[in-house]
Amino acid sequence: MKKQHTSWFAAVAAGAFVLSASPAAHAVATLMISDGTTTKTIADGSVVAGSEDNVPLAGIVSYNSTVSGAIGGWVLNIDTGATYPAFGSVPTSPNLTLGFQNGYNGTNATGGPGTVLTLKFSEVGYLLSDSSFLATLGATQIQGGNDITVQYQAFDGLGNTLFQQSNQLGSTLSGSVASGSSTTSIQGGLPTPYSLTQVITFTYVGLGGGIANGGGALVSGSAALQGTAVPDGGATAALLGMSLLGLAIAGRSKLQTA
């Protein structure tokens, strides 16, 4: 269980040292986890007891229930969000990734089927206006059959505030063993700066052979949101072609006069 999460985190952490840059002043990236009764809000770099950020890198926020405590019947939570300056490099390259490993124990919990855990990751200050956003999800049930469903949504926030949900980016991705992608293109421009938010909803739906064979389940995976500039109809390529042609002509002239 831990090995899968560690591999994902190691890749993100390694990229943090390569891609980090000095961003403009902004509110810190923030992770929020809630079962409807207990809500944990973890800001980047937080040292608040019970809401500690377990990764001391700017742009990466991680919650680990073995350190900060379980959330209701969700007895295992290892959730890590990454964005700029660690991932995506700068606000003009929007990129959020949210890795998760969440387990529900049906025996020790007061709830049962229908119990929900909501995971959110958000950051402000993004500056890419004409954007094409790609949302992707991959999830695997490690224990408990298909007893946890996963639903993923991504949003922009036109007021540039954390967790704001102005417009959904792409369609809702969901399933028990989930994977998929969805793209949204925004031309005419998003007002900048804006915020981005990922929302993943986990629902325990059964009483499988899960955690310690006591009735429960464990799911692991990741969700991403990546923004790229909308193609400009070939204008950039044409300009580059003209520039290369100019260099070729200049080089030929020098050869002829040599």
The torsion angle over the Cα atoms of residues 155, 46, 44 and 54, rounded to 10 degrees, is -100
Q: Which residues contact 154 (CB under 8 A, 6 or more apart)?
A: 96, 133, 135, 168, 169, 170, 196, 197, 198, 199, 223, 225
Intervals of the chain under pLDDT 70: 1-26, 88-89, 106-111, 176-179, 187-188, 207-215, 231-258
Q: How far apart are CA 90 and CA 127, in angstroms?
A: 9
Residue-level pLDDT at 257: 52
pLDDT value at residue 203? 92
How far apart CA 202 and CA 111 sit, in angstroms, is 14
3-state helix, strand, coil in the chain (%, to 5): 20, 40, 40
CA dist 45 and 29 (Å) reads: 9
CA nearest neighbour of 205 among 129, 111, 118, 140: 111
Strand 148-157 vs strand 216-229: parallel, antiparallel, or unpaired?
unpaired
pLDDT at 10: 42
Q: Cis ω on the peptide bond leading into residue 113 (within 30° of 0)?
A: no
Number of CB atoms found within 10 A of residue 187's CB = 12
pLDDT at position 200? 97
Distance (Å, rounded) from C-alpha 224 to C-alpha 184? 14
Q: How far is CA 199 from CA 61, 106, 143, 241, in A?
A: 15, 24, 23, 42
Give Cα separations from 24 to 21, 84, 127, 128 (angstroms). Answer: 10, 11, 10, 14
Return the SS3 of 45.
coil
**Which tokens go with 132?**
């094409």
